[in-house]
């Protein structure tokens, strides 16, 4: 296993509420619990504990409720201006969810629009990065015929395709949850099948570390 980060490199996480988890504004950092209570904080803690000889700076600019259109609106300030060496993106949950809980939304983000905007953001950014990580959106539901689960899988497939096109590390977060759901019900992680508890966030953190081939837990 080769540790992918160099000392003092900057790893930025951006996304929606799953990334946000109460992080400090305007930019979440490790100090004073600034990274929030979710997977970003867990990843930072695991890397800091396991690799003290290779300190990196982890930043969090996730915002609850965001869709890819919101990322587009704040991309300059919350990504480009921060000049990350590594960038991790997880977006799409609200792009799908709003089509179910707000069916009259006059401005939905359908799969074609999602992919077009996402691709444009990556085109603006990829050449400036040492590393890029794309994480799938997810729905904590084992029934793959469920309407929202089926649509989420469509957005996950788009994420996989973009990861291949832009030479990114692909993290199948949905698959990580599916593995857990083979043994436990979704209610053990959350009530709405979207916002996981601490166990759920650790599933995401482990998927991230595994995807980068980092054995942080020995």
Q: Which residue has the higher pLDDT, 166 or 218?
A: 166
pLDDT tens digit string along 129-140?
999 999 999 999
Indicate the number of domains in the chain.
Answer: 1
Token pair in block for residue 139? 């729905």
Residue 92 lies in a domain: yes
Active site residues: 17, 192, 195
Residue 136 lies in a domain: yes
Residue 53 lies in a domain: yes
Residue 186's pLDDT is 97
Residue 108 lies in a domain: yes
Q: Could you tell me the CATH number of the domain that includes residue 177?
A: 3.40.50.1110
pTM of the model: 0.96
Residue 43 lies in a domain: yes
Summarize the confidence of residues 192-199 as an average pLDDT.
Answer: 97
Token pair in block for residue 145? 């015929």
Residue 32's pLDDT is 84
Range of the domain at 123: 10-211
Residues 59, 64, 70, 73: is their CA dihedral positive or negative?
negative
Q: How far apart are CA 116 and CA 58, in angstroms?
A: 28
Q: DSSP 3-state assignment of 146?
A: coil
Percent of the chain with pLDDT over 90: 93
Strand extents, DSSP E, 61-205: 86-90, 131-135, 169-171
Residue 1 lies in a domain: no
Q: Which residue has the higher pLDDT, 204 or 2?
A: 204
Residue 197's pLDDT is 98
Cα(first)–Cα(last) distance of the chain, in Å? 13
Residue 215's pLDDT is 79
Token pair in block for residue 133? 């990580």
pLDDT tens digit string along 54-65?
999 999 999 999
Residue 184 lies in a domain: yes
Q: How far out from the chain centre does Cα 141 lie?
A: 18
Work out the angle at residue 139's Cα, subtended by the Cα atoms of residues 135 and 156, and round it to the nearest 5 degrees. Answer: 40
Residue 28's pLDDT is 98
């Amino acid at each position: 296993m080769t540790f992918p980060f160099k000392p003092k490199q900057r790893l930025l996480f951006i996304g929606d509420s799953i990334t946000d988890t109460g992080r400090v504004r305007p930019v979440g950092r490790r100090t004073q619990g600034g990274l929030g209570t979710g997977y970003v904080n867990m990843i930072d803690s695991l890397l800091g504990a396991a690799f003290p000889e290779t300190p990196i700076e982890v930043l969090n600019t996730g915002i609850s409720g965001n869709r890819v259109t919101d990322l587009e609106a704040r991309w300059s300030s919350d990504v480009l201006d921060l000049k990350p060496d590594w960038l991790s993106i997880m977006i799409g949950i609200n792009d799908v969810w709003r089509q179910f809980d707000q069916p009259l939304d006059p401005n939905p983000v359908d799969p074609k629009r999602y992919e077009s905007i996402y691709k444009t953001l990556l085109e603006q950014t990829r050449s400036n990065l040492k590393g890029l990580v794309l994480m799938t959106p997810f729905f904590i539901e084992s029934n793959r015929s469920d309407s929202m689960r089926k649509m989420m899988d469509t957005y996950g497939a788009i994420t996989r395709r973009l990861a291949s096109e832009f030479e990114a590390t692909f993290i199948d977060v949905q698959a990580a949850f599916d593995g857990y759901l083979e043994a436990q019900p979704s209610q053990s992680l959350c009530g709405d099948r979207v916002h996981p508890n601490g166990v759920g966030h650790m599933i995401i953190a482990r998927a991230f570390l595994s995807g980068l081939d980092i054995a942080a837990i020995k």
